[in-house]
Chains A and B, each alone.
Chain A
């Protein structure tokens, strides 16, 4: 099995630099990092990839059992690290991928130097004494949203999208391609993402971690971000001025600054 092709892995930046691997969240693909990556490519060896089922990944590698929990995605991250022989890895994960990073780092702590968790939530569903922000009914509603929006997905378009997802100049028909994939996979990934509960994994993290929290985030609220920070021993918490769930797109400068401060403090 070719991990590099399976996960559409691309390596750039400084070849002898410390590896920095970026993991995108539910919804889109590695393009989510396009405004952040340039700030690190002089210093770091940059590794970008798509989760299986997203972007330019090999859809035929999608296995409902393997990807039936975030552990399968964490295995992929570890396999990518292994295939490229990455050590002292800086793992940058957005949204659900911050938890995938947490799982990967607890399984192979020696592999990782630090974790940057952008908008993490260990559990989206409200529970006794814990406010995740959503109910099960909300998640069902999301699945319905996915259904209504995938009417635009046609199997005839799929190969074109898959082949040209990174070339928006190819025209109108590729609109929304960054965030479009097979509807069955999207539904399943949505379920796994929003119904997972990884709260118990946080306290097992031994890797230095930064929690990057937006000021007003409908998906991962400030209180959830603080919870993650409190549960991960020795983690740092930075609340950005940025609002929304994707500071990597809406406020790349502020995101980069916070990451650099954290990484400089670790290095110094």
Chain B
């Protein structure tokens, strides 16, 4: 704050000549804001020069003849009746209400209005005092802000739609119907789904009674991750024609990733599922740095297989194949780390919760198991997944 000059330096005579002009009457009439007083029903009983000048009315035209709301635009009048008047009545004052007043010549003045309700001693409304601030430039600016917000919202909606379309294209639209096999899958993108995630899964046929199930997690998110996801998915499909051995297929995916360049690596679990002749499904699988699948057999739930190395990092990752057979009622639960690494504060969803959940629900249909576990992990995070979550369940139906 600037300091007031010492009184000695002040020309007191000059001040004396100014002060009388700064009387209450003049302060009221020529204040830098409009003033108006109305009866509780809005009838104008007093108005200052400033407001008259803004509005182009004479005092006689307004006082006793016109209600405050009559000076507003039609939209403003509705706002006045539905918000302003009720608020004034309920809380004795209103502040910063944006309205448009209509001048005598029909043009508009955007204003900001504050009012207080003066009551008689026994609490009856007596007079409403209103101050009116011209807000022309402010309103312009606010309109720009609104337009910017609308623009941002529509861009966001477009991006989300794009992300969802892209995401959908990275997963099979539906799972194939395979005789002697019960398949289920669930996927939940991170956050509000406005970014393409790196999790994916795929199921495709490689021969008669011979199927491939892939689930994977490409590091990162967004368009770059989507490109790599598509690359991994289609390389795996192409590789599956050349080799039936899961570790060999994953090795070809690894080659594809390295040739593609860039810094993206990926974890993946590849399952070869054979269902020949109504026999129990036989599964051969290999993991490349991916969470081990859980084998569910009655009350017993345990991880199976060998971890293996990430894809897209080294030339010849160490990968090994494991085999198992699913007896009727047994299932293999494959998932991405978004599930077990779901977090609530410091608390991790973790393997133990997953095992408990699978122990309780693992005997249900494959699709139900997949959805229940993913939903549970999302609920654990209060409804907003921090990372993508995917789950695929391969089960041998009960006989």
Residue positions of A touching B, CB distance < 8 A? 25-28, 31-32, 34, 95, 134-135, 137-149, 151-152, 168, 175-176, 178-179, 194, 216-219, 243-246, 249-250
Given contacts A141-B75, A250-B41, A28 and B81 within 8 Å (CB-CB): no
- Please pick, from B83, B100, B125, B145, the residue contacting A179 in the complex, using a CB distance under 8 A: B83
- Please pick, from B41, B83, B146, the residue contacting A28 in the complex, using a CB distance under 8 A: B83
15 residue pairs A–B, Cβ–Cβ below 8 Å? A95-B82, A134-B78, A142-B78, A145-B76, A175-B93, A175-B94, A175-B95, A176-B87, A178-B90, A216-B41, A218-B81, A244-B85, A245-B82, A245-B85, A250-B89
- B40, A176: Cβ atoms closer than 8 Å: no
- A250, B81: Cβ atoms closer than 8 Å: no
Question: Taking CB as reference atom, which chain B residue is nearest A147?
Answer: B146
Q: How far is the CA of A217 from the CA of B85 in the complex (A)?
A: 12
- B89, A134: Cβ atoms closer than 8 Å: no
Sort chain B's interface into a size bin. 35 or more
Please, which residues of chain B bring their CB within 8 A of the CB of A95? 82
Please, which residues of chain A bring their CB within 8 A of the CB of B82? 25-28, 95, 179, 219, 245
- A149, B98: Cβ atoms closer than 8 Å: yes
Q: How far is the CB of B49 from chain A (nearest CB, A)?
A: 27
Given contacts A149-B83, A151-B142, A143 and B89 within 8 Å (CB-CB): no
Question: Is B238 part of the contact surface with A, judged by Cβ < 8 Å?
Answer: no
Question: Is B91 part of the contact surface with A, judged by Cβ < 8 Å?
Answer: yes
Q: How far is the CB of B140 from chain A (nearest CB, A)?
A: 11
- B95, A145: Cβ atoms closer than 8 Å: no
| Contact residues, B65-120 vs A (CB, 8 A) | 67, 69, 73-83, 85-87, 89-91, 93-100, 110
Q: Which 4 A-B pairs have the closest CB atoms?
A: A141-B75, A27-B82, A138-B74, A142-B75
Please, which residues of chain A bring their CB within 8 A of the CB of B100? 141, 145
- Please pick, from B42, B74, B77, B83, the residue contacting A27 in the complex, using a CB distance under 8 A: B83
Question: Taking CB as reference atom, which chain B residue is nearest A151?
Answer: B142
Question: Is B386 part of the contact surface with A, judged by Cβ < 8 Å?
Answer: no
Q: How far is the CA of A168 from the CA of B89 in the complex (A)?
A: 13
- A141, B74: Cβ atoms closer than 8 Å: yes
Please, which residues of chain B bring their CB within 8 A of the CB of A149? 79, 83, 97-98
Please, which residues of chain A bring their CB within 8 A of the CB of B361? none
Q: How far is the CA of A244 from the CA of B193 in the complex (A)?
A: 48
- B86, A246: Cβ atoms closer than 8 Å: yes
Q: How far is the CB of A249 from chain B (nearest CB, A)?
A: 4
Q: Quick one: CB contact mask for B193-219 with A, threshold 8 Å, 1 for yes? A: 000000000000000000000000000
- B85, A219: Cβ atoms closer than 8 Å: no
Please, which residues of chain B bring their CB within 8 A of the CB of A26? 82
Please, which residues of chain B bring their CB within 8 A of the CB of A137? 74
Question: Taking CB as reference atom, which chain A residue is nearest B125?
Answer: A250
Q: Quick one: CB contact mask for B213-238 with A, threshold 8 Å, 1 for yes? A: 00000000000000000000000000
- B76, A141: Cβ atoms closer than 8 Å: yes
- B87, A28: Cβ atoms closer than 8 Å: yes
Please, which residues of chain B bring their CB within 8 A of the CB of A139? 75
Q: How far is the CA of A245 from the CA of B83 in the complex (A)?
A: 11
Please, which residues of chain B bring their CB within 8 A of the CB of A176? 83, 87, 91, 94-95
Q: How far is the CA of A139 from the CA of B82 in the complex (A)?
A: 13
Please, which residues of chain B bring their CB within 8 A of the CB of A32? 86, 90
- B78, A194: Cβ atoms closer than 8 Å: yes
Question: Taking CB as reference atom, which chain A residue is nearest B108?
Answer: A141
Please, which residues of chain B bring their CB within 8 A of the CB of A145? 73, 75-76, 78-79, 98-100
Given contacts A147-B146, A250-B40, A178 and B74 within 8 Å (CB-CB): no
Q: How far is the CA of A222 from the CA of B387 in the complex (A)?
A: 60
Q: How far is the CB of B210 from chain A (nearest CB, A)?
A: 46
- A151, B77: Cβ atoms closer than 8 Å: no
Please, which residues of chain A bring their CB within 8 A of the CB of B93? 175
Given contacts A149-B79, A149-B83, A178 and B91 within 8 Å (CB-CB): yes
Q: How far is the CA of A67 from the CA of B108 in the complex (A)?
A: 33
Please, which residues of chain A bring their CB within 8 A of the CB of B145? 151
- B75, A249: Cβ atoms closer than 8 Å: no
Q: How far is the CB of A126 from chain B (nearest CB, A)?
A: 12
Question: Taking CB as reference atom, which chain B residue is nearest A219?
Answer: B81
- Knowing that A28-B87, A246-B89 touch, tell me 18 more A-B residue pairs with CB under 8 angstroms: A28-B83, A34-B90, A139-B75, A145-B78, A147-B146, A151-B98, A175-B95, A178-B86, A178-B87, A178-B91, A219-B81, A245-B81, A245-B82, A246-B86, A249-B89, A249-B90, A250-B40, A250-B125
Please, which residues of chain A bring their CB within 8 A of the CB of B97? 149
Q: How far is the CA of A235 from the CA of B369 in the complex (A)?
A: 60
Please, which residues of chain B bring their CB within 8 A of the CB of A147? 146
Please, which residues of chain A bring their CB within 8 A of the CB of B142? 148, 151
Q: How far is the CA of A21 from the CA of B99 in the complex (A)?
A: 33
Question: Taking CB as reference atom, which chain A residue is nearest B97?
Answer: A149
Please, which residues of chain A bring their CB within 8 A of the CB of B244? none
- B85, A134: Cβ atoms closer than 8 Å: no
Given contacts A145-B99, A244-B42, A179 and B78 within 8 Å (CB-CB): no
Given contacts A175-B95, A178-B87, A243 and B42 within 8 Å (CB-CB): yes
Given contacts A148-B142, A176-B95, A243-B42, A142 and B86 within 8 Å (CB-CB): no
Question: Is B359 part of the contact surface with A, judged by Cβ < 8 Å?
Answer: no
Given contacts A148-B98, A250-B41, A218 and B77 within 8 Å (CB-CB): yes
- A246, B98: Cβ atoms closer than 8 Å: no
Q: How far is the CA of A34 from the CA of B91 in the complex (A)?
A: 12
Q: How far is the CA of A137 from the CA of B78 in the complex (A)?
A: 13
Q: How far is the CB of B141 from chain A (nearest CB, A)?
A: 10
- B78, A28: Cβ atoms closer than 8 Å: no
Given contacts A134-B74, A250-B85, A168 and B91 within 8 Å (CB-CB): yes
Question: Is B139 part of the contact surface with A, judged by Cβ < 8 Å?
Answer: yes
Interface centre among A95, A137, A176 (most CB of B within 10 A): A176
- A244, B74: Cβ atoms closer than 8 Å: no
- B85, A246: Cβ atoms closer than 8 Å: yes
